[in-house]
Structure 1
């Protein structure tokens, strides 16, 4: 850090020796800059502001029915792409600038100047645009801005019918193409189903695993129903053959035969027993006596039934004449018919299951082809329906654009006729030029100090030359020399102060001239 400071001090000392050269160059450069800035021609700027209102009441109402482009984005793109060569050539004719050009070279120069000078500034989401142009003639600047504003509004209001027609033609061609593809896919699917109707089943689809599982489940269900029917049939046959008692209407005491007078008494005693058990225990004498009476009644009923069977009279005389027996024979017939039907169903399901197992290699291939055909058909159908929907949306959009257009253009500020020059900004230019002149003077002193270097101390001399320095002779400052150096510093400071005063005076004068 110390070496850097020492080197910097050495450079400043070298520059100080040639300070008068730098001051002289600063004065000369500043004077020349003031003359150049003063002689620069004035340029007048005409401006206009245009607001584009894209908020139409019709657009929210047609949301979801029509294709609605991003109008804000279109307006922004319009503002950025308006200044093109065809539009500038049209602007030249609109502003009568073509009367001032006589040769193609002048026209090309005018086009280049307009493309560089025209400015369109926007505020983004507010759709507020500022049109500006600078020219040496204020009236011509106003005419150019007026023509630019007319061109801007005209470009925004031009119908996009050609682009819309091209889009609609493309959609129509795609719809016709997909109609043919959809028809071909339907025919392929129909022919495939007709060829493989037996394997695909009545539904025309379904994968092999699901069909096999479904048939197997149906077979198991049919077998279960068949076993139930066979068991029911065997039970009925045993009842009819006497292997089991014939079931008559069930009585409360659980016996197969009903004797009303005894059964009534048994029921009454059972109710009495239930009432006693709610109040007493099993060892109570009333409970024990009631149970004994019920047992006696049941024994009496058994004896009565046995006597009636031995006598062969009454309802035990002939089973064929018994309506319950006849009903059992009818139920048996229906059960046998159901058994035969279920056997046929089981045989059918077994045959289907055998056919599916025999087609274990063929059916998956058919199903894969069927899935491919269905997928192609669904893709074509979905694309076709989407294109038809977009065609209708495009038709509605065309009608809506014809009604509302791209937006409503409102002129906020018409093109102004400037009375004061907008450029050049002589005040700012003079300040920059004065600073540049100071920089040029400093650069000149640095350059001379490098071309004619001096050494301020023996250490620097030794480092530069690489030769040992045996000694140094100090300079003795007398009063006269110190007075001379002081006067030189005062003079240099006065030169800088005079330069700053001159710059201030010239800046004020240029500002007054420009205002």
Structure 2
């Protein structure tokens, strides 16, 4: 009674819970352990083999190759996709006789996918000044069910990496050289076309180009000076010509005056006699003019041919000066037009020169890249460029890499115990009945007057034992089913071993 008054102790509560919930805990423990223990027992032993491939550059001139071959990281990804392709892995499966139990039972694609999961490629590198890691090697690992395949597969993949890298580099450098050669030929044709356009433009616009403006200005000034001199010469020639014509005109005027006087004398003689004063005066004038005419005729007889020749020479000189003037004015108009067209031709010339410079720069760039591609191709042919080399080959392991069965059993035992305790506590939490006076006193403040102990009554044990046997049988059957399911799930499940092993692999 004393203990009922002060309440139940913690140990007694735990023991009471164990007595009440022992079957629930035992069934949970059995079920969980039956499910977890076969994993640690039936998981396959897996063997891990690794091969290391390093990237080495044997010649400093391999920088020429970088412009013709893709970046190392990109190339590694491409090679990895090629090696892990269906055709390559199918060939390895058949050649190395991998997964013999699964072959014929599952499709080829499933085997290839399984092998991809069993292959792991790890890139190793070092930090460069550019702030990002640069790959200097790779580690190829394979987990298999036997030591032989665990060594053969990484070695085969490492050899494929080396061969595929060499083949890709040779193909890339050769293709790049051929491509640049065709591009260079196209650029040469374009350069020749632009050069022809530029030369044709300069020939068609000779004298009208911007760099000839100063020469045209000097020539135009010289032509204007010649035109001014020509104008002055023409003025002088006209003056000489007019003077000569005036001299001819004076000779004609004397003949006309004598004829007029004679006509006037005839008219006066009809009206008057010879003694008429005006008649006498006119006769005197006629006599004077005839005397002068006789004197002048003797001198003009020698001067007339020379004067005629001089007039003709003057007229010829004047005609020549006029033709020279026309020529000068035409030349001045031509040069003036050249000066006016110079700004327009300057824009056209700048465009043509820009197109030519662009074509020349493209040609020079392609020429340089083509020479580098040829050098890269030569380096690849002589194996002086960047190459892959197998540093460490995989050897057949003597001990399995995983699983650690003892640790897995401890984990299964701990998980099963924890699950059993959790189920018992959950069942106790969901039970709302009172199992002791202490629990009742904690629930209500009404005093407890008395407690009636549990009275065991002698009954027929047959039905009770039958129920217990059936319950045990059901539990055993469930545990067996869970164990079988766990066995099939763990059998040859290398990926599960990889996940459970974690960093150990």
Normalising by the residue count of structure 1, what TM-score does the alignment of the two structures yield? 0.49
Match of 1:169 among 158, 178, 186: 178
| CA–CA separation in structure 2 for the residues paired with 1:177 and 1:356 | 39
After superposition, the Cα gap between the structure-2 partners of 1:182 and 1:173, relative to the gap in structure 1 and judged at 3 Å, is: same
SS at match of 1:199: coil
Equivalent position of 2:112 in the other structure: 111
Structure 2: distance between partners of 1:124 and 1:165:
28
Paired residues for 1:52-131 under 5 Å: 52-56=54-58, 58=59, 60-61=60-61, 63=63, 67=67, 69=69, 72-73=72-73, 76-77=76-77, 80-81=80-81, 82-97=83-98, 103=104, 105-125=106-126, 127-131=136-140
Tell me if the contact between 1:85 and 1:111 (Cα under 8 Å) persists in the aligned partners: yes
> Could you say which residue in structure 2 is the equivalent of 1:319?
none
Q: What pairs with 1:181-192 in structure 2 (closer than 5 Å)?
A: 181-192=190-201
Inter-partner Cα distance in structure 1 for 2:182 and 2:346: 34
Q: How far did residue 63 of structure 1 move? A: 4.9
Can you give the 5+ residue segments of structure 2 that lack an aligned partner in the other structure? 1-13, 127-134, 222-331, 435-442, 454-500
Q: Which residue pairs with 1:46 in the alignment?
A: 48
The verdict on how the C-alpha distance between 1:472 and 1:105 changes in structure 2, with shifts beyond 3 A counting, is closer
Residues 198, 96 of structure 1: alpha-carbon distance in 2 compared, 3 angstrom cutoff: same
Greater gyration radius: 2
Q: How many angstroms does 1:443 deviate by?
A: 5.5
Q: 1 CA distance for matches of 2:178 and 2:31?
A: 69
How far 1:197 sits from its partner (Å)? 2.6
Alignment of 1:385-400 (within 5 A): 385-400=364-379
Residues 384, 422 of structure 1: CA spacing in aligned structure 2 closer, same or farther, 3 A cutoff?
same
In the alignment, the residues of structure 1 paired with residue 145 and residue 138 of structure 2 have an alpha-carbon distance, to the nearest angstrom, of 24
In the aligned structure 1, how far is the partner of 2:24 from the partner of 2:433? Answer: 18
CA contact (8 A) 2:90 2:108 kept: no
Structure scoring higher RCO (CA < 8 A, sep ≥ 6) equals: 2
Give the structure 2 partner of residue 433 of structure 1.
Answer: 412
SS in 2 for 1:197: coil
**Structure 1 residues 330-362: Cα deviation after superposition (integer angstroms, max 9, x where no partner):** xxxxxxxxxxxxxxxxxxxxx89x948972xx4
1:197 to 2:206 alignment: yes
Deviation at 1:395, TM superposition (A): 1.0
CA gap of 1:147–1:416, structure 2 versus 1, over 3 A, is same
Task: Report the 3-state secondary structure (helix = DSSP H, G, I; strand = E; otherwise coil) of the residue aligned with 1:124.
Answer: strand
Deviation by residue 1:409-450 (Cα, 9 ceiling, x = unmatched) = 1332x3222232222233443454345435544664576578
Query: How many angstroms apart in 2 are the aligned matches of 1:137 and 1:93?
Result: 16
TM-score normalised according to structure 2 size: 0.50
- Residue 420 of structure 1 aligns to a residue whose secondary structure is coil
Displacement after TM superposition at 1:398 (Å): 0.6
Q: Quote the Cα distance in structure 2 between the aligned partners of 1:95 and 1:43.
A: 19
Q: Offset at 1:397?
A: 0.5
1:51-450 mapped onto 2 (5 Å cutoff): 51-56=53-58, 58=59, 60-61=60-61, 63=63, 67=67, 69=69, 72-73=72-73, 76-77=76-77, 80-81=80-81, 82-97=83-98, 103=104, 105-125=106-126, 127-158=136-167, 160-201=169-210, 203=211, 355=336, 359=340, 362-404=341-383, 406-412=386-392, 414-438=393-417, 440-441=419-420, 444=423, 448=427
Contact 1:43–1:134 (CA<8 Å) still a contact in 2? no
Which segments of 5 or more consecutive residues in structure 1 lack a partner in the other structure? 1-12, 205-210, 220-350, 456-470, 482-510
Deviation track 1:438-495 (CA, whole Å, cap 9, x = no partner) reads: 554466457657865689xxxxxxxxxxxxxxx94447599999xxxxxxxxxxxxxx
Distance 2:387 2:338 in 1: 70
Query: CA 1:152–1:65 in 2, change beyond 3 Å: closer, same or farther?
Result: closer
Change in CA separation of 1:450 and 1:402 when aligned onto 2, cut-off 3 Å: farther
- Which piece of structure 1 moves more, 80-89 or 97-106? 97-106
